[in-house]
Structure 1
Amino acid sequence: MPASTPLSTNKTAALSRTLDGVTRGYFRYIAGTIAADKVLSLARKFHDLYGIGCTPSQRITRKNKGLANSLLVLYAPEGAALAEWLLLVSPGNGPVTEREKLRDVTAKPRLTWLGYELLRHRERCTARWTWRRSKAEMTELYQLFDVQLHKHDHGPLSETLARIARQPGFHGVRVQSWTLFQHARERGYRGELPYLFYVSKVSHGERISL
């Protein structure tokens, strides 16, 4: 089977792939932006250098030799001129640790990618990784709520609430969304609150050959 890697065209898929990688111990990273028409070239370059398309058995062999494994998360919305990439790296040494200036997802400042911040939360006595909105975005949303509520025209606020509900339903995002909904209720909003969806297992995107 030829080597391949997923190409995500929506944020939920890209962020889910990132969570899956971090959960499996890929704690180091480097990120960047590239022209959308250069995505395939970048992916093939990273495969040649760091083996991003290695099979599970190949990754086990590399790990046993003390070599770091790498996986690539690609986010390229259809029709966009630019694409975002995130290279995640497991413990170990090798070309990727020698060539790239890697950061640790457990260090501060937190990894922020595609407008969301990575963090751990406690769930049933277990630490789990999730995404949440940045503090700056939350501040902007609270300010927008207050402006829309002050005008006593709940049409625009209903649209804002619906937009919030459509954002990726990771645990951290849902907690923030519910807090925003309660803020609107406490300040006089009497309309229907949108349903907050959970992120279920999603495809990481169509695979591109390396």
Structure 2
Amino acid sequence: MASKNHVLYLRGSCPPEKLISLWDKFNRFYDLDMTRLERSRLRKKGFASARMFLLARKDFGSGNSTGAQDIEWILMRSEGLLNAAAADARERWLSAVDNKQRIQIDGLELVRLTREGNQSPSWTWRFSRDLYEELRNSIVEDIRHHRIDRLSDTVERIWRAPGFAGVRAQGKSLMKLIKDEQIRSQKPSALIDLPQRFGYIRRIPDKGMRLSFFLKNK
């Protein structure tokens, strides 16, 4: 969605039983029911378009006092004019292009990076600054203290991370760090085998289901 200039966002969570009313509210303000073509035409006229994304965890249906875990949501919109219904809306929009307001989910952050061979930046996911530093520090400490089992766990964690371009670039840097630190340790027992290449994320169709159907069947 960010690639369509939907860089302003709100995020939060709510109980499943309140999700329909939340959706209806945002739909009145930001016309969420529009098709992709309708949103494109809207932006060409100078109006903002928006989409709302919902995340139900694997353990959805258990967790809080009502017996159902909250659903996480992110509402993203483009710059532009808003309809009359949204005139009095007082949402405090964040910007995904602001370094201090990046969208983060499960240790990953959404960023714009210029890939090799490209002139303009594109959107991708990478490890957040905190997680990347945590991985670096863990690698250095485990090699220097010969904690091979923990180092192997860290390598497995990096290897199994989603193969977005940003994650792959960071993963290669971390693998190089491991090689350099292992050579510096000068202890053959500290050497471990490293993966030769990282996986890629395959593009999948943008599919979904009606919210009412989802809630009824979950």
Other-structure match for 1:199 = 201
Other-structure match for 1:109 = 100
* 1:157 to 1:134, Cα distance in 2 relative to 1, 3 A: same
Confirm or deny that 1:83 pairs with 2:71. yes
- Mapped to 2, the partners of 1:64 and 1:205 lie a distance apart of 24
* 1:204 to 1:34, Cα distance in 2 relative to 1, 3 A: farther
- Mapped to 1, the partners of 2:24 and 2:145 lie a distance apart of 53
Q: Greater strand percent: which structure?
A: 1
Q: Which structure has the greater CA radius of gyration?
A: 2
The CA RMSD measured in Å over matched residues stands at: 2.5
Asked if structure 2 preserves the Cα contact closer than 8 Å seen for 1:132 and 1:176, the reply is yes
Confirm or deny that 1:70 pairs with 2:64. no
Asked if structure 1 preserves the Cα contact closer than 8 Å seen for 2:104 and 2:128, the reply is no
SS at match of 1:196: coil
Question: For each residue in 1:109-168, what CA deviation from the matched residue of structure 2 results, as whole angstroms up to 9, or x when unmatched?
Answer: 241321322222112222211122222111211222123223324222112111112112
Other-structure match for 2:128 = 134
Other-structure match for 2:81 = 93
Other-structure match for 1:148 = 142
The AA in structure 2 aligned to 1:126 is: S
SS at match of 2:210: strand
- Mapped to 1, the partners of 2:75 and 2:81 lie a distance apart of 15
Asked if structure 1 preserves the Cα contact closer than 8 Å seen for 2:28 and 2:86, the reply is no
Deviation at residue 65 of structure 1 after TM alignment: 4.8
- Mapped to 1, the partners of 2:7 and 2:147 lie a distance apart of 46
* 1:150 to 1:204, Cα distance in 2 relative to 1, 3 A: farther
Other-structure match for 1:46 = 26
Q: Give the number of aligned pairs.
A: 190
Match of 1:174 among 149, 152, 168: 168
TM-score by length of 1: 0.77
SS at match of 2:109: strand
Map 1:50-61 to 2 at 5 A: 50-61=30-41
Other-structure match for 1:121 = 113
Q: Which runs of 5+ in 1 are unaligned?
A: 1-20
- Mapped to 1, the partners of 2:119 and 2:210 lie a distance apart of 38
* 1:64 to 1:150, Cα distance in 2 relative to 1, 3 A: closer
TM-score by length of 2: 0.75
Structure 1 runs (4+) greater than 6 angstroms displaced: none
Question: For each residue in 1:58-82, what CA deviation from the matched residue of structure 2 results, as whole angstroms up to 9, or x when unmatched?
Answer: 3245335543211012222121423
**Which one has more relative contact order, counting CA pairs under 8 Å at least 6 apart?**
1
SS at match of 2:209: strand
Q: Which runs of 5+ in 2 are unaligned?
A: 61-68, 183-189, 213-218
Q: Between the two proteins, what is the percent identity of the paired residues?
A: 26
The AA in structure 2 aligned to 1:199 is: I
Deviation at residue 180 of structure 1 after TM alignment: 1.1
- Mapped to 1, the partners of 2:153 and 2:205 lie a distance apart of 28
